[in-house]
Amino acid sequence: MADQPIPAIANAQAQTPAAGRGQRVFPAQGVPTIHRVNRLGLWTLYMKEVRRFFKVQTQTIWAPAITTLLYLMIFTVAMGQGGRQVLGVSFASFIAPGLIVMGMINNAFANTSFNFLAGKIQGTIVDYLMPPLSDGELMIGLIGAAVTRAVLVGLAIALAMAFWPGVSLHIAHPWAIVWFGLMGSVLLAVMGLFTSLWAEKFDHAALITNFVITPLTMLSGTFYVIHNLHPMFQAISRVNPFFYVISGFRFGFLGQSDIGSSNAAVLNGALYLGALNVVLGILLYLLLRSGWKLKS
């Protein structure tokens, strides 16, 4: 026993950096090894979420494309007969951009509304809370994965619609397609994270989907122009942020929109969505930082 080192001395020796050439040097105890942004951890979280939905891509990517094509077929048959035109294009070409971005935002919401909720129900929430990731990094990783899913769904729907008779997806303003597509996806991803924070069971998430997301999506001008509505309902539609996502995305393809008669009106809608996402992102960050319904 006399030749064994004293524990305090052994610990001190273990914490002493190795001076030998080729030996790994460890930082002293209490000295942080991750500075500013944990890039590796952020990338790992992002790839984990992408691989999660990509493993079931038939359900998460291709099934929404089939569902959207069914919407296109039903509404074209029901309302697009007789060469009907809206905003100077065929009815099928009018509703196609709205259906594309509707599929994108719905799947962005579905992706993030599952994250924390499943963890809380299954007892695996520590998988999100224990890694050395800041609240901002956690939020960015989850939103980034949801936006990736939304983009893949949008591409799948656009590819299917490119071969659909009577649909023209000519691009008039690429910036509008990118901006409104991304801003809409981010908006719904943030709303999905709010939902997964608040919800305690899957019924709660379904409640938000059925009574908030679906009505706002259907009443956003996807299948009609709001100029056909009563002035009061036009004013209500302009409060709905989904209206700007749908109409702005459509403007990118058709060069026309029911947001307003000028490009300035579309730009105002773009700025409105950007500002709204910033405000909601700050609120979400503060909730994550407080640990509301996650750590308490």
What pLDDT digit, counting tens, does each position of 154-199 carry? Answer: 999 999 998 888 888 889 999 999 999 999 999 999 999 999 999 9
Distances (CA, A) of 140 to 25, 27, 146, 147, 148: 32, 29, 10, 10, 12
Tens-digit pLDDT profile for residues 107-118: 999 999 988 998
Query: How many Å apart are CA 279 and CA 282, to the nearest integer?
Result: 5
Compute φ and ψ for 5, nearest 5 degrees.
-70, 150
pTM: 0.86
Beta strand segments in the chain, E: 85-86, 89-90
Q: What is the DSSP letter of 58?
A: I
Tokens, residue 166: 């009577």
Residue 281 CB: number of other CB atoms within 10 A?
19
Whether the CB-CB separation of 5 and 13 falls below 8 Å is answered with yes
The SS3 call for residue 85 is strand
Question: Percentage helix, strand, coil, to 5, in the chain?
Answer: 70, 0, 30
36's enclosing H/E stretch is none
User: Comparing 152 with 18, which gets the higher pLDDT?
Assistant: 152
Under DSSP, the state recorded for 33 is S
Phi-psi region of 83 (alpha: psi -120 to 50; beta: other; left: phi over 0): left
* pLDDT tens-digit map of 36-72: 889 999 999 999 999 999 999 999 999 999 999 999 9
How far apart, in whole angstroms, are the C-alpha atoms of residue 100 and residue 44? 29
Model confidence at 22, pLDDT cuts 50, 70, 90, reads: low
Confidence (pLDDT) at 12: 43
- Side-chain-side CA neighbours of residue 157 (13 Å): 30
Model pLDDT for residues 240-261, shown as the tens digit of each residue: 999 999 999 999 999 988 887 6
d(C-alpha 246, C-alpha 105), whole Å: 10
What value does the mean pLDDT take over residues 203-232? 90
How far is 233 from 215, CA to CA, in rounded Å?
14
Instruction: Check: CB of residue 289 under 8 Å from CB of residue 283.
Output: no
pLDDT tier at 283 (50, 70, 90 boundaries)? Answer: very high
Torsion sign across C-alpha atoms 293, 117, 107, 127: positive
